Amino acid sequence: MNRLIDLRSDTVTHPTPAMRAAMADAPVGDDVYGEDPTVNRLQALAAERLGKEAALFVPSGTMGNLASLLAHCGRGDEVILGDRSHIFLNEQGGMAALGGIMPHTLPNQSDGTLCLAEIAAAIRGDNVHYPRTRLVCLENTHNVCDGAPLPLDYVRAAADLAHAHGLGLHVDGARLFNAAAALGVDVTELVAEVDSVSLCLSKGLSAPVGSLICGSSPFIHAAHRARKVLGGGMRQAGVIAAAGIVALQEMPGRLTEDHQRARRLAEGFAALPNLQVGPVHTNILYFSLSDDCPLDGAGLAAALDARGILLPNRGPRSFRVVTHYWIDDQDVEQVLSAMYEILDIEGV
Ligand SMILES: *Cc1c(COP(=O)(O)O)cnc(C)c1O
Domains and CATH numbers, the chain: 5-11+254-342 (3.90.1150.10), 17-250 (3.40.640.10)
61 lines ligand 1 (CB under 6 A): yes
What is d(CA 248, CA 131) in angstroms, rounded to the nearest whole number? Answer: 39
Q: Is the pLDDT of residue 78 over 60?
A: yes
Atom of ligand 1 nearest to the CA of 143: 13
Give the pLDDT band (50/70/90) at residue 347.
very low
What is d(CA 127, CA 215) in angstroms, rounded to the nearest whole number? Answer: 30
Residue 348 confidence (pLDDT): 42
Q: Is the pLDDT of residue 1 over 50?
A: no
| Average pLDDT of the residues in 64-70 | 98
Question: Which is nearest to 8 in space by CA: 261, 333, 320, 331?
Answer: 320
141 lines ligand 1 (CB under 6 A): no
Mutate to test the pocket of ligand 1, among 57, 143, 145, 230 (most ligand atoms within 8 A of CB): 143
62 lines ligand 1 (CB under 6 A): yes
Q: Is the pLDDT of residue 346 over 60?
A: no
Give CA torsion, residues 71, 73, 74, 80, to 10 deg.
-150
Residue 2 confidence (pLDDT): 58
Q: Is the pLDDT of residue 134 over 60?
A: yes
What value does the mean pLDDT of the chain take? Answer: 96
What is d(CA 85, CA 69) in angstroms, rounded to the nearest whole number? Answer: 14
CA dihedral sign, ordered 236, 229, 66, 33: negative
H helix intervals, the chain? 17-25, 37-50, 61-72, 86-90, 94-99, 116-122, 152-164, 176-183, 187-190, 217-229, 238-250, 255-270, 297-306, 329-343
Q: What is the pTM of this model?
A: 0.96
What is d(CA 43, CA 46) in angstroms, rounded to the nearest whole number? Answer: 5
Residue 105 confidence (pLDDT): 98
Q: Answer whether 258's CB lies under 8 Å from 284's CB.
A: no
Higher local confidence (pLDDT), 347 or 314? 314
What is d(CA 258, CA 284) in angstroms, rounded to the nearest whole number? Answer: 9
What is d(CA 4, CA 129) in angstroms, rounded to the nearest whole number? Answer: 56
